[in-house]
Structures are given as C-alpha cells and as structure tokens.
Amino acid sequence: MSYGMGGWETLRALRARDKVAGHRLASGTARRITSFARPYRRDIVVFLITVVISAGIGVATPVLAGDVVNTITRGGGDAGSTVVRLALFIAGLAVFDALLSLAQRWYSARIGEGIILDLRTKVYDHVQRMPLQFFTRTQTGALVSRLNNDVMGAQRAFTSTLSGVVSNVIQLVLTAAVMFTLSWQITAISLVMLPVFIIPARRVGKRLAEITKESYDLDAKMNATMTERFGVAGALLVKLFGQPDTEAKRFGERAERVRDIGIQSAMYSRTFFVAMLLVASLAQALTYGLGGWLAVSGAVSAGTVVTLALLLTRLYGPLTALSNVRVDVMSALVSFERVFEVLDLEPSIAEKPDAVTIPAGAGQVEFRDVRFRYPSAAEVSLASLEDVVTLDRTTSEPVLRGLSFAVEPGQMVALVGPSGAGKSTTSMLVSRVYDVTDGQVLVGGVDVRDATLASLRDTIGVVTQDSHLFHETISENLRYAKPDATDDELWTALRGAQVEDLVRSLPDGLETMVGERGYRFSGGEKQRIAIARLLLKAPSIVILDEATAHLDSESEAAVQRALSVALSGRTALVIAHRLSTVRDADQILVLDEGKIVERGRHDELVAVGGLYAELYRTQFAVADSPMPYVETDHAEPVTVPPRDYATDS
C-alpha cells in the first residue's frame, strides 16, 4: 500500500486549516495569478497531460492484476502465454509511468522555479525602490519571509497543489467508476470506514496546527536573538556586560520548548499515519472478506476481488486529500495575496515618465520655501510587515518649515543646529531619499522630482557618519560606485582618500573582506574607504552628514585630509555637529525647529551672539571669539550682510 505522499499532503493541509479559515481573498487575485502563469502555459498543459496519463496508469494496473488472477483461475491452454503478456504489459506501464514521473518532475521544477524567479526578482526590485521610512518601520524578517516562505507557498499553487488536485480528481473518478462497475456492494461497504479516519484526523490536524504555530513563533524569536547577538554590535554588548551565561540560558529555554514540541509533533504525525494505514488496512480486509465470500458463492470472480482490493488503496489517498483541497488552494492563494500586498504598495519616490537629465557637472543646489513632514505609517508601510493590527495614520508635525537658500557651484555650505532641527532631513531632500511636502529642491536648475534618478545619483555623492560597507571585498565595495572601474582607478581613489598605504599593507590587498558592516576596520579607516568610494564616483555635489562625528582626534584629522581632496572643486553641503569642522565654510546656515534662524560665516555668526554663538560657546569652554555671549530671540532669522565670496580670503 502507498499512502505516503497523499498522507503528507493531507497532514500539511490540516496544519494550514486555521491559517486560512475564514480568509477572504481580494478581488482580482486569481486574475493576477494567471498573469504570472501565462509565460508557462505550454509547460503547464504538458505537465497536466502527464499527470492525467499517470493517474490513468495507476487505475489500469490493478485492473490488469485482476485479469492475471482471473486468467490463472480460469486456466486453459493459452493461460500461460496470456499471463506473460499481461505481466509484460504491466511492466511496460510501470516503465512508462516511471518516465512520466521524471517528465512531471522536470516540468514541475521548470514551472515552479520559473515562477519563484519571477516573483522573487519582482518583489526584491520593488522593495529596493521603497522609501527609507519603509525600512525603518518594517521588520526585516517579515520582508525576508515574503521573499522566501510566501513565494514558495505561491509556487506550490502550480506544482504540488495543481498537480495534486488534477491527479486526485482523475484517479478518484476513474477508480470509483471501475470499482462500482465491478461491484457496487463491496465499494459502498469499503467506503464506510472513511469517516472513521477523517473525523479524528481533523482533530489531530487542529492540535498539530497549534503546536506548529508555537514552534514557528519560538523559531522566529530564536532567529531574532541569534541575528542580534551574533552581529558585531550585539556580540560586543554581551561581552561588555558579561551576560553570555544569561543569554545561553534564555536561548536554551526556548530551544528546550522547541524540542518538546518536536517530540509532540512527531508523535501526532506518527499517530496520524498509523491511523490512516490502519483504517485503510481494515477497509482492505473488509474487501477481501466480503469479496472472498462473494467469489466463493460465484457472484464475483477472484480477479475482481484482487482488483477491488488494489484499487481501494488508490481510493483512500485521493479522498482524504480532496477533503482538504480547499485548504490547499486557499493556502497557495493566500501566499500569492501576501506577495501582491507588497507589490501593491507604491513607492513614494518614483521617476516621472518625462523625467529630464540633470546637466553634467551641475553644482548648484537651491531650496525654495521647502516644507516637509515625514509620511505616516499608513502611507509607506503595511500592518503585516510591522506586526501590528492597524497602521498609525497620525500626521506628523512638519520637520522643515519654509527653508530657502542656495548653494552656488564650488561653495561649501554648512548646516548646523541642535539635534532635531532638520539638518539631516534637509540633506536627504537633495538626494531625493524623501520628497518635499511643499516647495522645491533644485539641482542644476532642475527640480529633483522632474529629474531622472540615474542623473541625480550621478550628480550627488553622500558620506554619512556611519558609512556602510557590505560584507564583501574592498574592491567590490568600491566598485559599488563604479562597476567598471579598473584596479588603477581603485588605487587612485584610495590614495586620494589617504588610505592607500593601509590597503596595500593588507595580505589580500583589494581582495580583503571588510567584515560585517566593515567592522574589521576602525571608524576612521572605514570612513576613508567610504570617501574613496565617493572619489571613484566623482560627483559634482557632495553631501557630508556628520562624517567625522564619532571619530577620535587622530582619525578625524586623517578623514579631514581625505575630505579636503574629495571636496576640491566640488559643491559641498556639510552637516556638522562639531563646529570646528565648518569654520571655513563659505556660508553657515543655522537651523532650529525646521527654520533657518541665522546665516553667515563663522566669525560673523559668533559676533552676532545668537544660537550659533551659543552652540560654539557650549562646545568650547574657552572660545576664541572676542565677543561675549548674548541671549537673543531666535523667532526671526538673523541674517549677516552678504560677503563677496569670490574675493574673500
């Protein structure tokens, strides 16, 4: 008897029952699924034909076995040759069925893997284009799950679910038809045992679903723990606070519960299969008993009894599988729906169809009455990705309130102010990480919303306070800015960033792995590699977002030397916490609560005695300014008379 595959499919469906119970699909889901299947329609047709033929062979074999028995019992001069011919025919069908199974597997893999490729690449590309706040709100694990678990679930719709439904329906119809033709009495009595199996199986499935869900939750928590604790920052925190024993105990408790659930699940599963085999065996025994009695009385032939007994083994599997077909289909459709849910979330930053190219070498940046508020969760995220019931629709307060300023080509303009004043947000509007709520941001005279994203990325280069390096080689990290760069170009960029000697001293040179987030290098070394990447890109506008904020004095000095090369001949917008780094800026803009409250050069702003002077005085207990600190009202912007930057030394 063979119940294995059908049993596993039934068990999986029973586990999934609670997950899809009562779920209502969004309109149009089936139509969208068809669009993904359309490129594989020929493969699907051939696949289904092989499934139908294989199901037919599965029914034909027991009938032929019955003919063999009838031929033997009937006897006669040609009985031997007839039995041999039947046996050879059965063997031929077995070989043909084996070849069909290989063809089925090939087409199934081709269809399934093709759909996985299409879905994964489409979702990955779509997620990459989402705004930054989407990533700050959503759980990384939930996104990965959409790319793995849900895509795999969607793939099953065209492989195991589709083939299972078609195969089981064909096999059930053919088997039942043949059995009722041979003996409707034996067939009807044999099916009496089916409810004895189905009803307890549903209860076992419900309990399995409960403990499986708990197991998944615990696995997710353990994965989250390992991700956090095995990261460089998490491992360092554990070591600094001396908590490895506590962490091991907490992890061990969860792992023990997973072990216990695994044992329970194994026993429930074994009970399920034992019950299935037992009921099917009892039904087969009933068939032999009743059929044998009818055969002895001459009502049916011995071959008919054998045929019915063999066909019975092919009846229980499809019946139990089809009793849960709705769950199988719904599970696959729900997976598709969860994938579509991500694809339907439109990126807030998109390129217009008629976008224009920013002129090459453009160096002017202009803000015109710019206002900005961060989008609400409902505008950029999904409740299922944040693990909440409903998304927050509260509109945030404006972060920027009417910013207007211009940075001329070749100038260095600094943005300073207290934390939360809107400095980093301002820089992100230039590179279009976010779009303005109102007003305009222009680069080279072109509104960034009207520009092609490629030309905007080519024009602007950014170095943040925590520059990210991928867990790849130095050369791969550098070529992220210019994929076709030669090794000579890489070394030139490293030389300009004051980090060439360090890289040449490494055993593997450019092929040195930087480690997760670049933790194999110090903060200053990592920043200089990031600056080399910027130099390789060669943008005309550079944005520095507190690029030296977390460095010691020696590292800061090295990075400043690298920056002097990076900024040479380029327009620079510098966000600075350390005011000493912007003393030579052509213009300093002082932000407070989203507004420019002061603007001018360092000496002029210190002399005015406003917010800049306050910040400067706070950072340097012994200020080098001759002007005493004076309290001022910052409600209105303080503007220092403009200077001629062309002649100012």
Six-digit token pair at 371? 């206002």
Q: Strand, coil or helix: what is 404?
A: strand
Q: pLDDT (tens digit, 9 = 90+) per residue, 16-51?
A: 444 544 455 566 677 787 887 888 889 888 988 998
Q: pLDDT (tens digit, 9 = 90+) per residue, 135-184?
A: 877 767 677 777 777 777 777 776 777 777 887 888 888 888 888 888 88
pLDDT of residue 365: 93
Name residue 473's beta-bridge partners: 513
In CATH terms, are 4-343 and 365-375+397-639 the same topology? no
Six-digit token pair at 362? 């453009």
Question: Can you tell me the distance from the alpha carbon of 389 to that of 404, in angstroms, rounded to the nearest whole number?
Answer: 40
Question: Can you tell me the distance from the alpha carbon of 54 to that of 638, in angstroms, rounded to the nearest whole number?
Answer: 85
Q: pLDDT (tens digit, 9 = 90+) per residue, 243-301?
A: 777 778 888 887 888 888 878 777 777 777 777 777 777 777 888 888 888 888 888 88
Q: How far is CA 345 from CA 53, 127, 155, 433, in A?
A: 43, 9, 22, 17
Q: What is the dihedral of CA 367, 350, 517, 564, to 10 degrees?
A: -30
Residue 321, exposed/middle/buried by CB under 10 A (0-12, 13-18, 19+)?
Answer: buried
Average confidence score pLDDT of the chain: 78
Superfamily of domain 4-343: ABC transporter type 1, transmembrane domain (1.20.1560.10)
Q: How confident is the model at residue 645 (pLDDT cuts 50, 70, 90)?
A: very low
Backbone angles phi, psi at 423, to 5 degrees: -65, -55
- Cα-Cα end-to-end distance for the chain: 94
Contacts by 608-616, CB closer than 8 A, 24 or more apart: 608/632, 608/638, 608/640, 610/634, 610/638, 611/417, 612/416, 612/579, 612/588, 615/416, 615/417, 615/418, 615/579, 615/590, 616/579
Name residue 20's beta-bridge partners: none
Pairing of strands 412-416, 571-575: parallel
Residue-by-residue DSSP string for 1-12: ---HHHHHHHHH
Return the domain boundaries, the chain.
4-343, 365-375+397-639
Question: Can you tell me the distance from the alpha carbon of 92 to that of 231, in angstroms, rounded to the nearest whole number?
Answer: 58
HSE of 29 in the Cβ direction (CA atoms, 13 Å)? 18
Does the pLDDT at position 644 exceed 50?
no
Question: Can you tell me the distance from the alpha carbon of 564 to that of 497, in angstroms, rounded to the nearest whole number?
Answer: 9
Backbone angles phi, psi at 639, to 5 degrees: -115, 120
- HEC string of 449-512 equals HHECHHHHHHHEEEEECCCCCCCCEHHHHHCCCCCCCCHHHHHHHHHHCCCHHHHHHCCCHHHC
pLDDT of residue 323: 64
Give every CB contact of residue 547 below 8 A, 6+ residues apart in sequence. Answer: 463, 464, 465, 467, 527, 531, 559, 563
Q: pLDDT (tens digit, 9 = 90+) per residue, 510-548?
A: 998 887 655 578 778 888 888 888 888 888 999 988 777
Give every CB contact of residue 506 below 8 A, 6+ residues apart in sequence. Answer: 512
Candidates 3.30.429.10, 3.40.50.300, 3.30.1960.10, 3.30.1490.100; correct CATH number of 365-375+397-639?
Answer: 3.40.50.300
